[in-house]
Structure 1
Amino acid sequence: MKIDSSFSFGDRLDDIAAIQAEFQARERLGFDGVVTAEIRNDPFLVVGMGAAVTQRIELRTGIAVAFARSPMTTAYTAHDLNVYSRGRFTLGLGSQIQAHITKRFGMPWHGPAQQMAEFIRALHAIWDCWYDGKPLNFRGECYRHTLMTPDFTPLNTRYGRPRVVMAAVGPLMINTAAREADGILIHTFCTPKYLEEEILPRIDATLAERGRRREDFEVSFPPFVVTGRTEEEFEAAKQRVKYRIAFYGSTPAYRPVLECHGWEGLQPKLNQLSKNNGWDRMPDLISDEILETFAVVGEPHQVARQIKARYGHLVDRLTLESGLPEDVLSEQIRIMRG
């Protein structure tokens, strides 16, 4: 099992030295990868910063919003980062939701499963042209790419095409990931029970239909973790994770996870609070039982063994937040890999 570290740079984008030092620290600690997300900033820019000062660690987006871009612009960016990192880049894509695509990004929405399948196929058609010399002639319902001249074809193809992994929650998107991508990014709003009973069987069935081997498909998951070196840190982490569980639980798309545990009645209550600006009251509906079902809860020296016991037999990669001292993180990585 590989262990990745999530990377959030907040408002420090102007401190390049500090950002690069954090990438180096994660490589030194033994993490297998660093994952950047598209939240307040572009997720690709810091990947380039990290690639410049590291040698081994994998560099991944988790996620970049696919539908905010075209397959062509994404193909160029992913290619360049893979070359710049000498083959260490993985393109992690997600769909976002319709309102953000159409109202925030001002881009068209065709339905996430169909559009994501076409997006990934278009990427590979473009890369087939660049890396294998095939004519570019992709004609889909959402995207069309039919022109590529030598002047606009990248020259350095020695590192091959980047791997493409895809975020998925519902059945259609899970099927799409298993059909089209090199791996799946499981949403953090998930439990071992839902993963084992609902998600993994669907992945296995779809891979089998496509004649693909499970060992060639990567399952990655970022678990909720509640821990801290002091009682104050622990309580702050507990409230932070309760809020995130409540936030995701308010969304109808995530209701099946609650239904798996008989908590489907919680979703409309959380949803109503979210519509009435009751965000600060939503965590109060998350009991300790619900918290401990979704999250690994314990002292720093305990959580690594709990994470391994819960997920070591289910997933190929884990993504962890890294707010603990370096010696603690190093020991946690050792335990989870052991």
Structure 2
Amino acid sequence: MSTVRIGYAPWGETLEEVADAARRAEAAGAKVIWVPELHRSATVTAAAVAAATTTARVGTAIALAFTRSPMVTALEAMDLDELADGRFVLGLGSGVQRLNEDWHHARWGKPVAHLDETVRAIRTFVAECTTGEPIELDGAHEPMRIRGYQRPYAVRRPAIPVYLAAMGPAMTRLAGRVGDGWISHELCSPAYLEKRILPELETGLEQAGRARTELDVVVSACCSVDDDAATARRRVAATVGFYASVRTYAEFFAFHGLAAQQEQVREAFRGGRGADHLADAVDDTMVDCLTLAGDPDAVAGRLAAYEGLADSVKLSPPTHGIDAAQTRAAQDSIIALVATLTGGHA
């Protein structure tokens, strides 16, 4: 039996549909329900999911770390943990500079050090906010000086798990040093995890004197399941194209021997195609290497390739370049596969 836990990132055109998908994924056997932050607030969506579920953990994957103050993030995390009866996981990520500064008017600074201080401030506040004692934290990015404050409500847990999203080496080492878990980019092959990510996580763990068992390694996997493998691949091709259009992912694609294929996608992008409409420029080699796409047996086999490398795999349906009906069909097929793999109920 596989030791890799399966999580799921539900999709919906409404919060009601997201909650329903979360409920069905939990019944199918998903151990964690993860919610993103881009088109919705991660914390509000997590609240909807927490109310709709009873056993699965509820996590943000990810909430933006710098667009809220650490105190607000901590308050929201404690409220969510209360709502979820101790099932909440706070997944944080830095985002990119332009998103922080131009979209949110948030400070960027040095993101690794900034995120390190953010995690420290959140954990300190959660642990000490009911004592009435002053909180004094120095820092270049997130100092915290709180006096005359005492939270009058009980804290469900004095330490809420904090997972960090990371792709670059320095941020990945930080996840190993201070995170309760690490969350991958949406595209993360077993080979990339083994050769590029795990060594950096191990370095971070060693720097902090921590054991590998203290870190939950969570791979994010864009998934598409259909009895017709070609249909499954085409659903997810635009997601691959979306990321291939970004020049900063050149090393990632080159690692997989896909530099020429990425350049083909980028040529289409430079020719005027939108980033969500590059599926025709993506060949099956890219899809098979970077996603879990195909018929149920093929997807189960690709999922098994993470055995011994990842602790958890977060499955998500494709959303780029396809309509809602196709995403909905992909979601239903993933939940059915989860039930088959875990013995749950679809």
TM range (shorter): 0.7 to 0.9
Q: Which amino acid aligns with 1:246?
A: G
Aligned to 2:202: 204
Equivalent-residue separation in structure 2 for 1:327 and 1:269 (angstroms): 35
Pair 1:241–1:327, CA change in 2 (3 A):
closer
Pair 1:207–1:83, CA change in 2 (3 A):
same
Pair 1:155–1:97, CA change in 2 (3 A):
same
Is residue 313 of structure 1 aligned with residue 316 of structure 2? no
Pair 1:301–1:189, CA change in 2 (3 A):
closer
Equivalent-residue separation in structure 1 for 2:334 and 2:260 (angstroms): 39
Instruction: Name the TM-score, length of structure 2 as normaliser.
Output: 0.86
Pair 1:207–1:131, CA change in 2 (3 A):
farther
- C-alpha displacement at 1:276, in angstroms? 4.5
Aligned to 1:283: 279
Gaps of 5+ in 1: none
Partner residue of 1:263 out of 219, 241, 258: 258
Pair 1:181–1:326, CA change in 2 (3 A):
closer
Equivalent-residue separation in structure 2 for 1:267 and 1:325 (angstroms): 27
Secondary structure of 1:34's aligned partner = strand
- C-alpha displacement at 1:52, in angstroms? 2.5
Gaps of 5+ in 2: 317-330
- C-alpha displacement at 1:148, in angstroms? 4.0
- C-alpha displacement at 1:133, in angstroms? 6.6
- C-alpha displacement at 1:315, in angstroms? 0.3
Task: Provide, for residues 201-256 of structure 1, a one-character-per-residue CA deviation record: whole Å limited to 9, x for no partner.
Answer: 11112211210110010100122333214x4xx54432232221122122233222
Aligned to 2:193: 195
Once the two structures are superposed, the pairs formed by residues 60-79 of structure 1 within 5 Å of their partners are: 60-79=59-78
Task: Provide, for residues 234-281 of structure 1, a one-character-per-residue CA deviation record: whole Å limited to 9, x for no partner.
Answer: 544322322211221222332222221333344455445434432377
Give the structure, 1 or 2, with the largest relative contact order (CA under 8 Å, sep 6 or more). 2
Instruction: Name the TM-score, length of structure 1 as normaliser.
Output: 0.88
Is residue 245 of structure 1 aligned with residue 240 of structure 2? yes
Partner residue of 1:324 out of 333, 336, 341: 333
Pair 1:38–1:68, CA change in 2 (3 A):
same
Q: Which amino acid aligns with 1:4?
A: G
Once the two structures are superposed, the pairs formed by residues 53-64 of structure 1 within 5 Å of their partners are: 53-64=52-63
Aligned to 2:321: none
Q: Does the 8 Å contact 1:301/1:328 carry over to 2?
A: no
Once the two structures are superposed, the pairs formed by residues 10-159 of structure 1 within 5 Å of their partners are: 10=13, 12-13=14-15, 16=16, 18-130=17-129, 135-151=134-150, 153-159=151-157
Q: Does the 8 Å contact 1:223/1:319 carry over to 2?
A: yes
- C-alpha displacement at 1:19, in angstroms? 4.4
Equivalent-residue separation in structure 2 for 1:326 and 1:204 (angstroms): 33
The RMSD of aligned alpha carbons is 2.4
Equivalent-residue separation in structure 1 for 2:140 and 2:148 (angstroms): 23
Equivalent-residue separation in structure 2 for 1:19 and 1:307 (angstroms): 24
How many pairs does the alignment contain? Answer: 326
